[in-house]
Amino acid sequence: MGLDSVDVLSFLFMLGSLELGRAYSTTTLTKTQNQMLDYLVDFGLVYIPSSTSKQFFPTRLATTLTSDATALRSVSAGFDAAQATATGTKGFIIIETNYRLYAYTKSPLQIAVLSLFTKLTTRYPNMVSGRITRESIYRAISHGITSDQVISYLSTHAHPQLIKASSAQGGGPVLPPTVVDQIRLWQIENERMKATSGFLFKEFESQKEYDACAKYADEIGVLVWKSDVKRMFFVSRVEQLRDYLKSRKAK
């Protein structure tokens, strides 16, 4: 765009050291850097008030992109943060041995956290109910939430009735042991499975064609799985095999 590269880089490095929400004067900027402001406003990196053009503010996007500690959190980190902020509050969760869950709350945050690992089915003005299932735990794991985090959240927010029943049994576990064990087993079960992206070849015209293609895929190291009975196989890459099939059909 005809801008001086030294001035451009200098301004970008300076932008990384500015403080969010603080006003900075445009009078100290060079001509090139003042030209840059218009582009940075379009990118959402800088805000210039309509009342004055002599000041600019770095946006949260600018401070996030130029910071070594990102302000963007994973779902798992947000889950931990939600649990930490609610520590010390009165428990509201009741969970039964049949995996049914009842939460006496109307907080949108608490309901949203529960929906991460629970299949919610009913919502009342001051209560939601649902069920912990294999699919709901798998969904939580896919977001980076571990079984220990789920169990810890349920224990931390257990209803006083569960805590009272635990005390009456001589200080036993607050949560039903069958539920705790099953949540951990579902995570272990999920970790045993490994997904491999690739391509499935089937419906060959003859056994000879299938054998030749499967053998070639094995020789070049892309064969992942095959079934001689069904005459199909699965490969991780398709480029060389595609050229091989074209050359066979050309003969």
Domain parsing of the chain, residue ranges:
5-65, 75-191, 199-250
Fold matches, 5-65 and 199-250: no
Tens place of pLDDT for every residue, the chain, 251 residues? 778 888 888 888 888 778 887 888 888 888 888 888 888 888 888 888 887 778 888 888 887 776 655 455 566 766 776 666 555 557 899 999 999 999 999 988 899 999 999 999 999 999 999 999 999 999 998 888 999 999 999 999 999 999 888 888 777 889 999 999 999 999 998 777 677 889 999 999 899 999 999 999 999 999 999 999 999 999 999 989 988 888 888 76
Burial 141-167 (b: 16+ CB within 10 A, else e): beeebebebbbebbbbbbbeebeeeee
Q: What are 126's two structure tokens?
A: 């001051």
116 C-beta neighbours (distance < 10 Å), count: 19
CA-based nearest residue to 93, from 133, 142, 150, 169? 150
Q: What are 186's two structure tokens?
A: 């579902």
Contact (Cβ atoms closer than 8 angstroms) between residue 152 and residue 168: no
Three-state secondary structure call for residue 120: strand
Three-state secondary structure call for residue 237: coil
Fold of the 5-65 domain? Arc Repressor Mutant, subunit A (1.10.10)
Q: What are 208's two structure tokens?
A: 């000879």
128 vs 115: CA distance, rounded Å: 10
Output the pTM of the full model: 0.53
199-250, which class in CATH? Answer: alpha beta
Q: Which amino acid is at 79?
A: F
